[in-house]
Structure 1
């Protein structure tokens, strides 16, 4: 179970208006929470027809968890809902050791949510591939970590304006000799050793490498100064280096946010192409 000393508000849940066939779990960015972020996304993430996500996907259950209450060094050590600590906005590779505790606790917490949602889908004759994980900014970073280390092939991953934690160490493994599956195994071992937890799913059939088969969409604004476009491009390169199916979209002139309707249309097209 997750660390009881870290408080997570209850997730915000938007129930489907039609028969429940899919679930999308969406992770917020820095200095907000699932309640605030869900309202922002649902109000502003409109497609070209002016529709919000629940109207676009009436059969989808949307789940907006919140990061645990902890101090964030980059925000003057303010107590806030974050997935893991960030030392400085300028360089996410600084203070990586301080990120580990949050990555560990948040991974376990989100794994519990994902497991519960998959169990519900399975009751309806669906599967883990009918669940997608979506994250913005730090939520993208956290989601990418959970996707890779979670041991499950999800239906899709959507990352907006994010980065990959411990990318340099992961890239060092990718650069070693060996076949694709060998490198994936070494990366998974690195991630699990980094946060000091075993693989979250015991699936001997896939060797817990199923997360690397999750198709991913990455979108990033060219003028993002909070999470540099370079970091998103480096994440794309890393996932590609692991042999993953990655769709990349850059948005000229966009700062640290999403672009409606263009980016939202792209995400919708991607998700529908994966069966959502």
Structure 2
């Protein structure tokens, strides 16, 4: 493993303007660019963590070149927000930092309604962060978002509810909330829909997810995601999904016991059914985390395609 370069000297927590409902969140941990600011990367931590803890560790994780992502992309600002403390049902309603509540990560259909309120608020919060960057002069197509574990899940869901193309999406060790519902909608609208469980499919069956969906199928699935969190549905004149032009990277450890790898594969299936171009990477010797330096290398190569 390559040694981690020191955290950039200008890293600090900066106050984010109180717009779009962000005033009740703690200020994010921000790593400012060392050169002219042309791009922004927003990454969400996992359940029980926080922006500074996740951000400081991630931003100092080096690729095989010995550089961290801030050094490789000196023009990018990195934003690591912190989730609100929400009561966790599985922990006897103890407040913890989480983007939304849930009961069992690996039983996605069980008590999944617990996630709705948090996903609604978190989606509005993330969209607000993006809007602040846009108002500051960074176009949406120069903004990348993503996250780790539950941060991946929350940011993936908010991506589907966004109205524009972003520069890219980076997800690690995560899943897509309500993926089963969206895939069922797509399959129910298809001729000869399959009864297979997408979360238990083999690699040989992966080609099934590459079948092109119709605009009607896509709009119904996306409208489920939007209306599920009280977002306005797409118009009836829907012909394409601008956000689906966003390039997506998903990485997952094959040995992940906390968030099973097939949940990441299931997220890939749904996104591809919705027209997204997904780069999927499975790390055979990795559990629940991101791989250093292998996954950092892959993210670096992915960002090189996005940050143009």
Aligned-CA RMSD value? 2.1
- List per-residue Cα deviations over 1:156-208 (Å, max 9, x = no partner): 00110000100110001111336532222112210121111225xx9999778
Q: 2:184 aligns with which of 172, 195, 211?
A: 172
Structure 2: which 5+ residue stretches go unaligned? 1-19, 191-212
Counterpart of 1:223? 255
Q: Is the Cα–Cα contact under 8 Å of residues 215 and 239 in structure 2 kept in the other structure?
A: no
- Does the aligned pair in 2 maintain the 1:23–1:63 contact within 8 Å? yes
1:195 — aligned with what? 229
Query: Could you tell me how far apart the structure 2 residues matched to 1:170 and 1:12 are?
Result: 33
Alignment match, 2:293: 261
CA contact (8 A) 1:25 1:63 kept: yes
> 1:79-158 to 2 correspondence within 5 Å?
79-122=95-138, 127-158=139-170
**Aligned mates of 1:27, 1:206 — CA distance in 2:** 30
Distance 1:69 1:3 in 2: 14
> Structure 1 regions of 5+ residues with no counterpart?
none
Q: Specify whether residues 97 and 247 from structure 1 end up closer, same or farther in structure 2 by C-alpha distance, changes over 3 A only.
A: same
Greater than 4 Å deviation, 4+ residue runs: 202-208
Q: Is the contact between residue 121 and residue 130 of structure 1 (CA under 8 Å) also seen in structure 2?
A: no
- Which of these two proteins has the greater Rg computed from alpha carbons? 2
Instruction: State the alpha-carbon separation in 1 of the partners of residues 129 and 22 from structure 2.
Output: 14
Q: How far apart are the structure 2 equivalents of 1:65 and 1:206?
A: 32
Contact 2:39 2:307 in 1 (8 A): no
Q: CA deviation at 1:88?
A: 2.3
Give TM-score scaled by structure 1 length.
Answer: 0.90
Report the CA distance between 1:114 and its aligned residue. 0.7
Q: Distance in 2 between matches of 1:108 and 1:140?
A: 16
Q: Quick one: distance in 2 between partners of 1:273 and 1:3? A: 30
Counterpart Cα distance in 2 of 1:197 and 1:133: 20
| 1-structure distance, mates of 2:271, 2:294 | 24
How many residue pairs get aligned? The number is 267
Pair 1:56-2:97 in alignment: no
